[in-house]
Amino acid sequence: MTLTCEQRHTSRTSAPPHSLERLPTMMSTLRSTAVGVLAASGLIAAASTASAQTAPGWYASFGAYSSNVDDANGTSQLTVTTLAPNVIQPGATCLLAPVTDPLGGLGDLLDTLGGSLGGLLGGLLGDEAGCLLGLLGNGADDTLTPGQQSEVFLDAQPIGIRFDSGLGISTAIGYQFIGGLRPELSLSFSENDLSVFSATAAGDASTVDGKLEATRVGANLWYDLQVHERILPYIGVGAGYQRAETTFGNSSDTDSNNFYQAGAGIGFALNRRTVVSLDYRYLVSNDIETSQLIPAMTPPDPATGGVVSTRRDDRYELTTHQVGLSLRYVFAESKMADADGDGVADFLDRCPNSPAGVQVDRFGCPLDSDGDGIPDHLEKCPNTAPGVQVDAQGCPLDADADGVPDHLDQCPNTPEGTQVDKRGCPLDLRDTDGDGVADLFDNCAGSPAGAAVDENGCPLDSDGDGIADYLDECPTTPPGLAVLPNGCALEGDCRRPRPGEAVDERGCAVDRNFILRGVKFEFDSAILTPEAKAILDRVSETLRAYPNVNVELGGHTDSIGSAAYNLGLSERRSIAVKEYLVSKGIPAKRMTPVGYGVSRPIADNALESGREENRRVELSVRD
């Protein structure tokens, strides 16, 4: 007699529920797993009500991702096919009794299964009294039919599978709508190695050589948000069909079923058409079902019967986490109505009549860079500080029209026409040196009375020789000539004549005698003062610039003292000047010291000011 259907049904346990029956649980898990990423994207999105402004149209994407599969739990069902012997003793209910090998070739089969799988089968089957437990009948009708093959379904046992992290690639094609929606079709492939297989009946877990390869075709719906010109967070869901191939050792089986996903990520727009994205996706699917048929290594003897084959049916859940990087490119941009040609579609344009050529923001309104309410193309003061009140031209208000805007004006009610400082307060216009430039603006306070000055209050130097005009006896020196401290060059210059001096046709003094003003000596001596040495330093530089010019150094005194004494004093002083210039590198042969005493006054010795002028040293060019 064959095994009854009742026996087959009573020895099978119920299968795990279909994943659609687990959908509420799966969705709860999905939400809790993705809530961190979704919440973060939501908070970012709350900062802006704008939809993404990347180019609308058809796009393609390519990416790679890390595939991490949760440890899988499931069941393994073993179905044993047996062959009854040709001759059965009347009333026998034990398929294999009496036999030498109580497993009837099943031992070889256990070796074929190996590891936890073999232990699983060995734990379910026994060999006491030469019978195969689980194949015995329960009553008079459970007799065996000679030569009949029968199937026995053993109790399903829990199993566990652990996967290593793997890699995957993906591609998609979709359409980017204005407003942020992105439906797409995707194709992906991933591979994860199996690291551990465990079966409860076998006791310990075992390492297996295997892998899981998943090919998925899906339909996704994403929603892009824009919080910045180049930052695009997004969220989405999807579903599709997958083909999962599970390999154990040298055997493999393929199952196809549905999967569901949710995810979130953030995109970085490289330009209007190209976006680089980083995202996370959570995937659940219907249970994976695989089957393996393992023939007995030694076919059973028809005379004694035995095990023909064993079929192993596994069923396990599959949950996957993906973290990936992708590149999206809009290859066919949509053409939409844009009446004002500002690049923003009419149905998104909040300023539909923007002037031609005006730069606009993502809402189609003219840019206002400083946020003062005046668009940039009308703005005459484009960098107004935040919060400052402006006029119709975008410039800060200046109620008293003093040139200092109200937000900086510390004296806001200055009378019209009043000159003010940078604080907006009336200026102190005192002019201490009387040069016509107020002290507030005078960079050269204390200019000599009567000296011509520039707008900064500094004495003029018309010929640019470094000597101010009021000191310059040669105010028209040609550019580039070295000059004495009085502003005159030794050659090619025009000295202003002193009263009574002969002049040439140009009105210049005929002789080339130059007073070295400021060259003074200690009282009643030939010792040069420090100030005199500083002046002679410049004289030495001028002489060095004219190496072929020889000069006379003439000493002069006032009328105080005897003529003889003053003559000797003036000679000693002229010699002191020569010696100092020699110490500065001027050849002695180029200089002739001469003392003139009181014989050549240029001012009235009766006056102190006259005597001051007469005490002098002159440098004269000798032909």
Over 60: is that where the pLDDT of 611 sits?
Answer: yes
**pTM score, whole prediction:** 0.46
Over 60: is that where the pLDDT of 161 sits?
Answer: yes
3-state class percentages of the chain: helix first, strand second, coil last, to nearest 5 = 15, 35, 50
Cα(72)–Cα(244) distance, integer angstroms = 14
Q: Give tens-digit pLDDT for 290-337.
A: 877 777 777 887 877 777 788 878 888 899 999 999 999 999 877 776
- Mean pLDDT across the chain: 80
Note whether 364 and 348 are within 8 A (CB). Answer: yes
Long-range contacts of 126-130 (CB under 8 A, 24+ apart): 127/102, 127/103, 128/102, 129/94, 129/97, 130/94, 130/96, 130/97, 130/98, 130/99, 130/102
Over residues 478-483, mean pLDDT: 92
Farthest CA pair distance, the chain:
176
Over 50: is that where the pLDDT of 46 sits?
Answer: no
Q: Which residue has the higher pLDDT, 136 or 473?
A: 473
* Predicted pLDDT at 247: 86
Q: Give tens-digit pLDDT for 188-207.
A: 999 999 887 776 544 455 66
Over 50: is that where the pLDDT of 51 sits?
Answer: no
Could you tell me how many residues make up the chain?
623
Cα(18)–Cα(11) distance, integer angstroms = 21
Closest residue by Cα to residue 318 from 246, 383, 366, 368 = 246
Over residues 77-106, mean pLDDT: 58
Among the residue ranges 367-371, 460-464, 505-509, 584-588, the one predicted with the least confidence is: 367-371
* Predicted pLDDT at 157: 82
Please state, for a pLDDT cut of 90, what percent of the chain lies above it: 41
Q: How confident is the model at residue 18 (pLDDT cuts 50, 70, 90)?
A: very low
Over 50: is that where the pLDDT of 269 sits?
Answer: yes
* Predicted pLDDT at 112: 40
Q: How confident is the model at residue 178 (pLDDT cuts 50, 70, 90)?
A: confident
For the ranges 129-133, 146-150, 158-162, 487-491, the maximum mean pLDDT occurs at 487-491
Cα(373)–Cα(444) distance, integer angstroms = 46
Neighbours of 385 (CB within 10 A): 11
Note whether 68 and 165 are within 8 A (CB). Answer: yes
Closest residue by Cα to residue 230 from 326, 107, 344, 362 = 362
- 454: which DSSP letter? -
Cα(146)–Cα(271) distance, integer angstroms = 79
Over 70: is that where the pLDDT of 53 sits?
Answer: no
- Amino acid 505 reads E
Q: Which residue has the higher pLDDT, 79 or 551?
A: 551
Query: Using CB atoms within 10 A of its CB, is residue 322 exposed (0-12), middle (13-18) or buried (19+)?
Result: buried
Q: Give tens-digit pLDDT for 57-89.
A: 899 999 999 999 998 888 888 888 888 777 666
- For 387-413, give one letter per residue: b (16+ CB within 10 A) or e: ebebeeebbbebebebebbeeebeeee
Q: How confident is the model at residue 404 (pLDDT cuts 50, 70, 90)?
A: confident
CB hemisphere CA count around 406 (13 angstroms): 12
Please state, for a pLDDT cut of 70, what percent of the chain lies above it: 80
Please name the residues in contact with 363: beta carbons below 8 A apart, sequence gap of 6 or more. 50, 344, 348, 349, 350, 351
* Predicted pLDDT at 10: 33
Q: Give tens-digit pLDDT for 106-142.
A: 444 444 444 444 444 444 444 433 344 334 333 334 5
Over residues 445-451, mean pLDDT: 88
Over 60: is that where the pLDDT of 614 sits?
Answer: yes
* Predicted pLDDT at 281: 98
Over 90: is that where the pLDDT of 223 sits?
Answer: yes
Q: How confident is the model at residue 576 (pLDDT cuts 50, 70, 90)?
A: very high
**Residue 98: C-alpha distances to residues 94, 104, 142, 149, 174 (Å):** 8, 11, 18, 19, 70
Over residues 20-43, mean pLDDT: 46
Strand order, beta sheet including 616-622 = 513-515, 616-622, 550-556, 591-597
Note whether 67 and 193 are within 8 A (CB). Answer: no
All structural domains of the chain, each given as residue ranges with its CATH number in brackets, are: 5-73+160-332 (2.40.160.20), 336-365 (no CATH), 513-622 (3.30.1330.60)
Note whether 361 and 375 are within 8 A (CB). Answer: no
**Residue 621: C-alpha distances to residues 474, 488, 504, 512, 601 (Å):** 15, 12, 17, 6, 19
* Predicted pLDDT at 91: 56
- Amino acid 97 reads A
Closest residue by Cα to residue 483 from 554, 538, 420 = 538
Among the residue ranges 5-14, 217-226, 380-389, 484-493, the one predicted with the least confidence is: 5-14
Over 80: is that where the pLDDT of 250 sits?
Answer: no
**Helix (DSSP H) and strand (DSSP E) numbers for the chain:** 7, 17
Q: Coil, helix or strand for 42?
A: helix
